Amino acid sequence: MPKLKLEDLAEVRERARKATMLREGAGRVKVTVHMGTCGIAAGARKIMEAALREVEERNLLDVIVATSGCAGLCSREPMATVEVVGEAPVKYVDLTEAKMKAIIAGHVVGGQAVQEYALAVGSERVL
Amino acid sequence: MAYRLNLMVCAGTGCVANRSLEVRDALEKELERRGLQNEVEVVTTGCNGFCGAGPLMVVHPDGIFYQQLSPKDIPHLVEEHFLKGRPVQKLMYVPPEEPAPIPKMSDIPFFRGQRLIALRNRGLIDPERIEEYIARDGYAALAKALAEMTPADIMEQVRISGLRGRGGAGFPAASKWEATRKVSAEPRYVVCNGDEGDPGAFMDRSIVESDPHSVIEGMIIGAKAIGARWGVVYIRNEYPLALQRLNIALDQAREYGLLGDDILGTGFDFDISVSRGAGAFVCGEATALVAAVEGRLGEPRARPPRLAESGLWGKPTCLNNVETWANVPPIILRGGPWFASIGTERSKGTKVFSLVGKVKNTGLVEVPMGMTLREIIYDIGGGIPGGKRFKAVQTGGPSGGCIPDTLIDLPVDFESLTEAGSMMGSGGMVVMDDDTCMVDVARYFLAFTQDESCGKCTPCREGTKLMLDILAKITEGHGTMEDLDTLERVAKVVAEASLCGLGTSAPNPVLTTMRYFREEYLAHIQAHKCPAHVCRELNTYRIDPEICVQHGHGCGVCKRECPEKAIFGEKNQPHRIDMSLCRKCGVCVDVCHFNAVIVE
């Protein structure tokens, strides 16, 4: 490690923030891959890995990839939900790695939901 | 690949003692077995604060809080939460007397009431990785101080902030800095006092363990303001983990060009060496500490001259404690007025306390100055366990005093505590309930200060011994009313005539307990009773014949265990104690399953 100069510090900070950003708890976008038994059986792990890889390659610092249990529509797994802060969540079904990549590009980065892979906008009413 | 989860495993001394490192190893093994090691990162952090619930882990980004983990919980936890995304309820914190667990750390009352400045990075970074400190604005204050501010600017912000020394006396930090700067002799030194020796106190240890760079950065900024080229951290050798993390942090800072020559390319030179203490309580006193660093006997000397004039090696020296230094970077980064907006009129910012004793949530808390004892003990600490009544709280360590329940709404700041006869000290807070005998408490703390008195000045050396003997006499039931007067007189002389803080404050536990709990002293002396049944010499023991037979069927456990063979009785018959043989050891009370042994 070469000794830092004043102007290097900000760059080191930005780089290091990538590793610690998750701990701030809030991103601009949360991508939840549904990993119930049905999801895992249908290949959800590959979908999640694709999402993480894409986040890494695109150097997206404000995107959190998470997992949750079965979303209830087991026949359409693998599924994922994309939530942009301040917008309604969008559920995607019958995913493949290529579709996940396209969703990251179109919805997470581009801001437009990818209609052809989407099941619905919004969530069930809870309680 | 990016991580989707960060598992922050607490590795403060408390959790490590509860085997948190085994939990971490089990986690890493299980994650690898499940093929999750590239998605889930395990981070070893410093003390999280909620020591009573350890070993702890916080899962980010959701902030899920798991407690009392053991390696056998790990396979289930990894499968359910980290693979399938279903947090495991049975490992979460359940508040006492509540049915449902609280999943999120930020919703748990213990954490919710706190405000972190000195502990701003606790549990959020790996203290052994400088990059993680930098990620959370670490060394940004230093860059600002070196590039944009003159020493006078730095001093001005610290003055505006109102920061006062966190080590005990509460002396304004800026005044100390200015006094050191003003002396023309060179070189000047900055010193960090990490010789935390109060029984039950672990604020400084936790800061160094969880965020050593915050102390280092504060010292470099202070050195720039004062014009020092060299600093010393004096730290107790009994803190091996803190020492290890501090040394790692110093090496990393040097490697990054944050210590050494030409820091950040600005032409400022400064480095820090570590001096290890050998467990003498008096070395926490500034002049004794300086003597110890120089390799001399750790004894205090008379002041003046102050350290600012003649400190380490006879040169101008600025000494602040760990927590004070850790507060400096946020003050520089956010400005003095920001810090001054927190706290009370004369006590600014926050204070770290180690909350221990008879309180549900034992641990380390940081709260704004001026919060009341009630808020700290009940809202954050969760109150007194076992349905007992709050009796007193001891603040300021062995040099502090006992504050009674009638003052529970006292705001905690330098002035209020001193007025109540206690002190802020370094921030120890020992909570006591009805089972605590205040005379015995005074005796306990006096025994500590008497043992730790260096013996240099007579009032402290002889006075603490005299007071201890009188207190022992009272707890054994031989006290007289005259003893009370002698105790008070000696206490005043010791406080008045001792050279250093150890002697001047040693009588505080005696004076405050006599002031607020005089009736307990009288009970010991006049009625030969200890109301809390702590002083065994004053107790009498008897067995309730009805409970013994009806519930215990004269089981005879007490008779078997009594070392003096002072208990008589046959099976199914009531047992009785022969007090002429009894040595009052209390074993019978401990072994009786039916609470038939009555202490009076």
For residue B1, what pLDDT is reported? 64
Give pLDDT tens digits for B314-372.
Answer: 999 999 999 999 999 999 999 999 999 999 999 999 999 999 999 999 999 999 999 99
Task: Take residue B71 and report the two structure tokens written for it.
Answer: 């390696």
Separation of alpha carbons B352 and A39, rounded Å: 47
- Candidates A1, A25, A69; nearest CB to B85: A69
Give pLDDT tens digits for B281-295.
Answer: 999 999 999 999 999
Given the candidates 1.20.1440.230, 1.10.10.10, 1.10.540.10, 3.30.530.20, the CATH classification of the domain at B438-526 is 1.20.1440.230
Please name the fold of domain B130-340: Rossmann fold (3.40.50)
Q: Is A22 close to B61, i.e. CB distance below 8 A?
A: yes
Whether the CB of A15 is below 8 Å from some CB of chain B: the reply is: yes
- The two beta strands, B230-236 and B189-194, are parallel
Q: Is A52 close to B4, i.e. CB distance below 8 A?
A: yes
Give pLDDT tens digits for B226-252.
Answer: 999 999 999 999 999 999 999 999 999
Average of per-residue pLDDT across B385-397:
92
Average of per-residue pLDDT across B400-406:
93
- Candidates A6, A53, A68; nearest CB to B143: A6
Instruction: Please tell me the CATH superfamily of domain A26-121, with its number.
Output: Glutaredoxin (3.40.30.10)
For residue A125, what pLDDT is reported? 65
DSSP label at residue A21: G
Give pLDDT tens digits for B420-478.
Answer: 988 988 889 999 999 999 999 999 999 999 999 999 999 999 999 999 999 999 999 99
Backbone angles phi, psi at B29, to 5 degrees: -65, -45
Average of per-residue pLDDT across B123-138:
94
Chain A nearest CA to B221, separation (Å): 15
Q: Is B8 close to A23, i.e. CB distance below 8 A?
A: yes
Specify whether the CB–CB gap between B221 and B328 falls below 8 A.
yes
Residues of chain A in contact with residue B62, where contact means CB-CB under 8 angstroms, are: 25, 66
Given the candidates 3.10.20.600, 3.30.565.10, 3.30.70.260, 3.40.50.1220, the CATH classification of the domain at B350-433 is 3.10.20.600
Decide: helix, strand or coil at residue B334.
helix
CA B487 to chain centre: 29
For residue A127, what pLDDT is reported? 60
Max CA pair span of chain A: 57
Closest to B119 (Cα-Cα) out of B33, B18, B204, B198: B204
For residue A122, what pLDDT is reported? 66
Q: Is domain B540-599 classified as CATH 3.30.70.20?
A: yes
* Average pLDDT score, chain B: 94
Q: Is A65 close to B2, i.e. CB distance below 8 A?
A: yes
Q: Is A9 close to B140, i.e. CB distance below 8 A?
A: yes
Q: Is B140 close to A1, i.e. CB distance below 8 A?
A: no
Provide DSSP, B416-432.
HHHHTT---TT-EEEEE
pTM for the model:
0.90
For residue B219, what pLDDT is reported? 98
What CATH class is the domain B5-107?
A: alpha beta
- The two beta strands, B401-404 and B390-395, are antiparallel
Separation of alpha carbons B354 and B118, rounded Å: 14
Q: Is A13 close to B60, i.e. CB distance below 8 A?
A: no
- Candidates A4, A36, A56; nearest CB to B2: A56
Q: How confident is the model at residue B279 (pLDDT cuts 50, 70, 90)?
A: confident
Q: Is B85 close to A35, i.e. CB distance below 8 A?
A: yes
Whether the CB of A59 is below 8 Å from some CB of chain B: the reply is: no
Q: How confident is the model at residue B198 (pLDDT cuts 50, 70, 90)?
A: confident
Q: What residue of B is the nearest CA neighbor of A37?
A: B84
Give pLDDT tens digits for A71-121.
Answer: 778 888 899 999 888 888 899 999 999 999 999 999 999 988 898 898 877
Q: Which of B8-12, B269-273, B375-379, B596-600 has the lowest mean pLDDT?
A: B596-600
For residue A126, what pLDDT is reported? 63
For residue B84, what pLDDT is reported? 84
Domain ranges of chain B: 5-107, 130-340, 350-433, 438-526, 540-599
> Of all helices (H) and strands (E), which one includes residue B147?
helix B140-148
- Candidates B6, B83, B140; nearest CB to A35: B83
- Give the torsion sign (CA, B257, B261, B266, B272): positive
For residue A20, what pLDDT is reported? 83
Specify whether the CB–CB gap between A76 and A94 falls below 8 A.
yes
For residue B485, what pLDDT is reported? 96
- Exposure string for B204-218, b = 16+ CB within 10 A, e = fewer: bbbbbbbbbbbbbbb
Specify whether the CB–CB gap between B395 and B416 falls below 8 A.
no
For residue B264, what pLDDT is reported? 96
Whether the CB of A68 is below 8 Å from some CB of chain B: the reply is: yes
